[in-house]
C-alpha cells in the first residue's frame, strides 16, 4: 500500500521541471494540492494534518523541487480569510494566493502609533457602498510590489480606541496610494511607508463586522507570531517575483541574493548559522561549545512551545497570546546566532563584502537581526501581552482609562 510520501514522490518525479516558468510551476503545485497541504482543497491544499503535510514537504525536498509562494499573503492573509472571510471573499482571493499570482502586504502600524497600534489615526468613512480611506502607514513589508493589502482603519472616533477599528482588503494599485521604500542598514529596502489620499474600498471587501477590526487584527498577528503557521514556506517571503522566469533560474537567483529579512522569516537563519559553525569548527572551542549548548536548549524549548501551539490548533482553537513566548524566544535566538556566528568567523566577522564566509549572506542576516525584536510586535509589547493576558498581571497605570474613553478624546501622537 502506497503512503502519502510515496504518492507525493511519484507526483514530483512526474511533474517537477526546472525549465518551466515559475508561474506554471506554482499553478501546477496548487492545482495538485501540494502547495499548502494543510489548507482546504479549494485553496491549493488537501486538508492534511501536520504529519501528512511534512511527508509531502519531505518528498518535494527529496525531488529537489522548488517550494510554494511565501510571504504576507500565505502566512497572514490566508489564515485570516479562512477564519473571517465570506465564501465569496475566499473564492475570490485564496486561489491567487496559493499559486502566487497576487501579492499582499500588511497596513497596520503607523508613525505615531507603533507599540500602541490601537491608537491608529488612519480614517475610513463610509460613502454609499464604498469607504474613503485617508492616512499613513509605515514598516509595510513588500508594499512596493504588493497588489493588495490587509488594512485596519478607524471608522468610529466616538468609540474607545479598540472598538472603532474596521478591517479591510485593500487595493494597492488604485489612485491615491503612494508607496515610499525605506532603505535599511543592510542596503535592502524590504520595508516601506504608505500614504493614502481618498483611496477607496468597496463594502464587499470589509472583513468582519464594522468596529470589530481590532479582534480580526489580533487573530492576524497571532498567526504572524506562530512558527507553526501552515502558510510558511521555504522560499524567500519578500522580493520581486517574476512568474515568467524558469523556476530553476529563479531558485538559483534567490539563493544568491537572499536578504536578511527573507532569511529571518523563511527559517533559513538556523541553517546558515549551522553552516558557519561547521566551517569554522566552533565546537572545538570550550567557551563557544558552552554557548552553543545554551542555544540548543533554547531551540528545544521553542520546539516544545511549537508543539503546544500545534496541539491547540488541532483541537480547533486559534493561536492565543502564548505565541508571544515563541516570538520573544525566536528574537533572542536570532541575536545569539548573530553574535556566535560573527565571533566564530574571527576577523572576517568584521568585514562586509561578498567574499566573506557564506558569500556575505550571514553578514546581511546579522545586520537585519535587530528587526526581529521589532517586526510583528516588539519584545517589550510581547512581554506586556504575556504579563497581562497569560499571567493575569495588572495593566499599566492609566491604561484602563484610555481603553474606556472615546478615541477622539485621547491625547494624540
**Catalytic residue IDs:** 224
Q: Nearest-CA neighbor of 123 among 163, 90, 155? A: 155
Distance from C-alpha of 196 to C-alpha of 232, rounded to nearest angstrom: 29
Residues ≥6 apart with Cβ < 8 Å to 208: 84, 166, 167, 215, 216
Q: Are strands 165-171 and 148-154 parallel, antiparallel or unpaired?
A: antiparallel
Q: How far apart are the first and last CA of the chain?
A: 64
Distance from C-alpha of 166 to C-alpha of 208, rounded to nearest angstrom: 8
Q: Phi/psi zone of residue 83: left (φ > 0), alpha (ψ -120 to 50 degrees), beta?
A: alpha
Number of alpha carbons in the 13 Å side-chain half-sphere of residue 192: 22
Amino acid at each position: 500500500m502506497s503512503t502519502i510520501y510515496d504518492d507525493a514522490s511519484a507526483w514530483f518525479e512526474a511533474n517537477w521541471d526546472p525549465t518551466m516558468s515559475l508561474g506554471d510551476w506554482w499553478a501546477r503545485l496548487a492545482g495538485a494540492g501540494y502547495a499548502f497541504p494543510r489548507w482546504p482543497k479549494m485553496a491549493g491544499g488537501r486538508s492534511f494534518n501536520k504529519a501528512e503535510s511534512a511527508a509531502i514537504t519531505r518528498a518535494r525536498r527529496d525531488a529537489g523541487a522548488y517550494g510554494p509562494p511565501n510571504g504576507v499573503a500565505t502566512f497572514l492573509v490566508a489564515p485570516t480569510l479562512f477564519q473571517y472571510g465570506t465564501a465569496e471573499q475566499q473564492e475570490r482571493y485564496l486561489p491567487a494566493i496559493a499559486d502566487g499570482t497576487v501579492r499582499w502586504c500588511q497596513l497596520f502600524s503607523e508613525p505615531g502609533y507603533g507599540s500602541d497600534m490601537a491608537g491608529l489615526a488612519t480614517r475610513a468613512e463610509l460613502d454609499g457602498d464604498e469607504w474613503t480611506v485617508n492616512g499613513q502607514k509605515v514598516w509595510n513589508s513588500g508594499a512596493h510590489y504588493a497588489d493588495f493589502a490587509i488594512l485596519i482603519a478607524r471608522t468610529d472616533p466616538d468609540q474607545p480606541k479598540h472598538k472603532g477599528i474596521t478591517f479591510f482588503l485593500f487595493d494597492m494599485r488604485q489612485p491615491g496610494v503612494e508607496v515610499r521604500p525605506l532603505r535599511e542598514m543592510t542596503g535592502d529596502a524590504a520595508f516601506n511607508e504608505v500614504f493614502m489620499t481618498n483611496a477607496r474600498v468597496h463594502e464587499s471587501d470589509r472583513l468582519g463586522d464594522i468596529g470589530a477590526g481590532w479582534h480580526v487584527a489580533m487573530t492576524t498577528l497571532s498567526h504572524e507570531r506562530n512558527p507553526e503557521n501552515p502558510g510558511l514556506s521555504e522560499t524567500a517571503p519578500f522580493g520581486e517575483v517574476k512568474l515568467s522566469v524558469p523556476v530553476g533560474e529563479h531558485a538559483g537567483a534567490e539563493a544568491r541574493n537572499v536578504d536578511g529579512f527573507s532569511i529571518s522569516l523563511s527559517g533559513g537563519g538556523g541553517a546558515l548559522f549551522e553552516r558557519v559553525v561547521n566551517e569554522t569548527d566552533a565546537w572545538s572551542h570550550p567557551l563557544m561549545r558552552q554557548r552553543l549548548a545554551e542555544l540548543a536548549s533554547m531551540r528545544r524549548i521553542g520546539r516544545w512551545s511549537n508543539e503546544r501551539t500545534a496541539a491547540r490548533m488541532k483541537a480547533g482553537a486559534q493561536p492565543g497570546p502564548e505565541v508571544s513566548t515563541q516570538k520573544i524566544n525566536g528574537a533572542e535566538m536570532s541575536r545569539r546566532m548573530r553574535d556566535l556566528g560573527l565571533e566564530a568567523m574571527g576577523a572576517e566577522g568584521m568585514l562586509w563584502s561578498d567574499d566573506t564566509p557564506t558569500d556575505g549572506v550571514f553578514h546581511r542576516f546579522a545586520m537585519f537581526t535587530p528587526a526581529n525584536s521589532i517586526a510583528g510586535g516588539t519584545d517589550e509589547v510581547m512581554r506586556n501581552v504575556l504579563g497581562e493576558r497569560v499571567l493575569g498581571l495588572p495593566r499599566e497605570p492609566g491604561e484602563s482609562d484610555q481603553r474606556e474613553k472615546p478615541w477622539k478624546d485621547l491625547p494624540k501622537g
